[in-house]
Chain A
Amino acid sequence: MSAQANGDGPQEPDEGSSVPVQRGNAGEVIEVRHGMFGARNGGDTSGYGGLVRTVRMPGESVRPYGSWFDEVADELEGALEEQGLAPENAVEKTVVDRGELTFHIAREHLPQVARTLRDDPALRFELCTGVSGVHYPGETGRELHAVYHLRSLTHNRLIRLEVTAPDADPHVPSIVDVYPTNDWHERETYDFFGLVFDGHPALTRILMPDDWQGFPQRKDYPLGGIPVEYKGAQIPAPDQRRSYT
């Protein structure tokens, strides 16, 4: 289903293979990486330093999405039109991947879309399971993502909303009005990613100390740690170790 939806791009993984599927040009490029072990200085005797890997997330899907996904997409588009909001302005793209439905929403329309999803009888996503932040430093202009999972108990469905904001303007409207449960969740995402949820009643740090500097779960924020000696050898801190890009 997702392979078809993504056009020429991805193939379903081969039977019994964990080799990553090379996606076509359809995906969303989030980063281009060079080399293999992260070694930047010194000569490259292995040749692995010349490797280039384009990191692509699953791209936009085309109709039909399959399952109940079309019904939800239709209902959402219809409901938004009724409110005088052109669906193509609110829903930037729709991704169906691994049996999950994602709507990428333009951030200024998020509260209205969330309210529609909650209140429309045919949609009725009553339960929000909070917001999760993701930082894609390589995705210029869309570095910060806020990901919401909405559950409908009435229809027994789960969808994902994804909103992006650039690093330079890290603002997303708050949906605490619509889903009060997001109070702490938005504070957590602010705490870790620096995403400012406009309209939140009291956007303060929640897990980190109040006077903490920086946003720890951003990719450019180091994990920290000290080298450890083990049997005479120095083991570097986890974020300093050689890694496979």
Chain B
Amino acid sequence: MATSTHAPAGVRETTEGTVYDVTGGDWDEMAAHAAKSDDERIIVNMGPQHPSTHGVLRLILEIDGETVTEARAGIGYLHTGIEKNLEYRTWTQGTTFVTRMDYLTPFFNEAAYCLGVERLLGIEDDVPDRANVIRVLLMELNRISSHLVAIATGGMELGATTVMIFGFRDREHVLDLYELITGLRMNHAYIRPGGLSQDLPPGTVDALREFVKKMRKNLPEYDALCTGNPVFKARLKDIGYLDLAGCMALGATGPILRSAGLPHDLRKAQPYCGYETYDFEVPTVDTCDSYGRFLLRLEEMRQSLRIIEQCIDRLEPGPVMVGDKKIAWPAQLALGPDGLGNSLDHIKNIMGTSMEALIHHFKLVTEGFRVPPGEVYTAVESAKGELGVHVVSDGGTRPYRVHFRDPSFTNLQSMAAMCEGGQVADVIVAVASIDPVMGGVDR
């Protein structure tokens, strides 16, 4: 224990009190110095660059000894103005932006946005079955990859690096599938208003079956590692407590709400993309704590595997974009020696034989389609909760206003309710159980 009476290196007096700049090794010195001062209140600023705060999240904790008396979150460090940017792009280009919001759930962002545009266009029922099946398939794969990151980073923050390694190992399998299907590991812009950008490449079904088999083998490993582990249970049980009344007041949805025992899931309550025809369960627990949320995420991944299997069986050949040529992207994509691009047949047609096809292609790509004026709200059950999109059109070729109600943003508000009165170390566990992704929080 440091008994020095010297002031630690980074200390300065301000009108708000003494400010210490602590980076690690000098903690003891600082504590000794602070103990000598009259002010008993210590406010710890954690983040925004702290490995345990899930990206650039800043936590401001007022502590009394090891107890957190007040907790506040500072956000906005990752604000990129995506909603404003959307107002300067066509409706189709919008998917390229929204996929980058919550970068761990790109397909949910794309699907929610596209469902909104489709409702404004009045083409919800025209989206082909195959497109809907693939949307469901991708969303469930996405649920698995998002939950895996939640569990992996949560484990890492507890010091359980094996959980982290396992989680990212399995997520890698999902990302391989994304790469196979969309060409990219993230930022896909694969779901488009009216359908999908392209069909599944050959070999996808085999890869999916292989993946399901692998995951059925790997998922029980998390059970074996964590579920019964006394250290893991001691750190998570009764931590991050938020009961049903608290969830409703704070608008918390997703695993947090279901950990309070309410089986609310938009896939069942307000089905979209044909979810009403799939056979799956909405798991709940009534522990209201971080441990319950961990168990839920595991079970939800098992349910997602069930849905993925059903999707594989339902993949019938057919179009993946609406038939309306005034909306559907004109280019037929094909894989060439230099990557994916307009198919040679399509180029030959528009450049060589049909002037009208060329004009059509040009107009749709540069101007885009017009969407009748009005506003809609569409929501999907993302891995983190209700992801809602408020889309307003003024009848033009660009969105007039798009607002994302990101579940991470809303759920993060409950951090204070979960942490105040608890230990400093438990703040990490509580925040990990909320699973906020700052790309979605700040947009």
Contacts and interface: CB of A to CB of B under 8 A. Distances in A.
Bound pair: A and B?
yes
Interface of A: 10, 12-13, 16-21, 23, 27, 30-31, 53, 55-58, 97-100, 102, 126-130, 132-135, 147, 149, 151, 153, 156, 158, 160, 179-185, 188, 205-209, 216-217, 223, 238-239, 241, 243-245
A98 B249 CA distance: 29
Interface string B367-398: 10111111111010000001010101011111
A207 B442 contact: yes
Residue among B252, B375, B377 with the most chain A CB within 10 A?
B375
A207 B76 contact: yes
A67 to B, nearest CB: 14
Given A20-B372, A126-B248, A179-B249, A216 B122 contact: no
12 contacts: A10-B372, A18-B371, A27-B373, A97-B375, A153-B262, A156-B270, A158-B379, A160-B375, A208-B76, A208-B79, A216-B84, A217-B401
Nearest to A237: B88
Contact of A31 (B326, B375, B376, B394): B394
A22 B357 CA distance: 27
Contacts of B249: 179-181
Interface of B: 75-76, 79, 81, 83-85, 87-89, 119-122, 126, 248-253, 262, 264, 269-270, 323-324, 326-327, 367, 369-377, 379, 386, 388, 390, 392, 394-398, 400-401, 403, 405, 409-410, 412-413, 442-443
A97 B149 CA distance: 39
Contact of B413 (A12, A184, A209): A184
A13 B122 contact: yes
A20 B376 contact: no
A217 B395 contact: no
Contacts of A27: 373
Given A19-B326, A129-B251, A223-B81, 6 more contacts: A18-B370, A20-B395, A23-B373, A56-B373, A129-B377, A160-B377
Contacts, number: 150
The 4 closest A-B pairs by CB, nearest first: A181-B251, A132-B403, A207-B76, A18-B326
A21 to B, nearest CB: 5
Nearest to B386: A129
B253 to A, nearest CB: 8
B390 A207 contact: no
Contact of A58 (B373, B377, B401): B373
B79 A207 contact: yes
Contacts of B373: 20, 23, 27, 55-58
A19 B370 contact: yes
A9 to B, nearest CB: 11
A238 B85 contact: yes
B397 A207 contact: no
B374 A127 contact: no
Contacts of A97: 374-375
A93 B95 CA distance: 33
Query: Which among A12, A126, A207 has the highest number of chain B CB atoms within 10 Å?
Result: A207
A30 B394 contact: yes
Given A147-B375, A181-B410, A223-B84, A16 B388 contact: no
Contact of A13 (B367, B372, B388, B403): B372
Nearest to B404: A132
Nearest to A21: B372
Contacts of A126: 248
B388 A149 contact: yes
A130 B413 CA distance: 12
Nearest to B74: A206
Nearest to A16: B324
Given A17-B324, A127-B248, A132-B403, A53 B395 contact: yes
A180 B250 contact: yes
A18 B327 contact: yes
A223 B388 contact: no
Contacts of B400: 134
A238 B395 contact: no
A117 B324 CA distance: 40
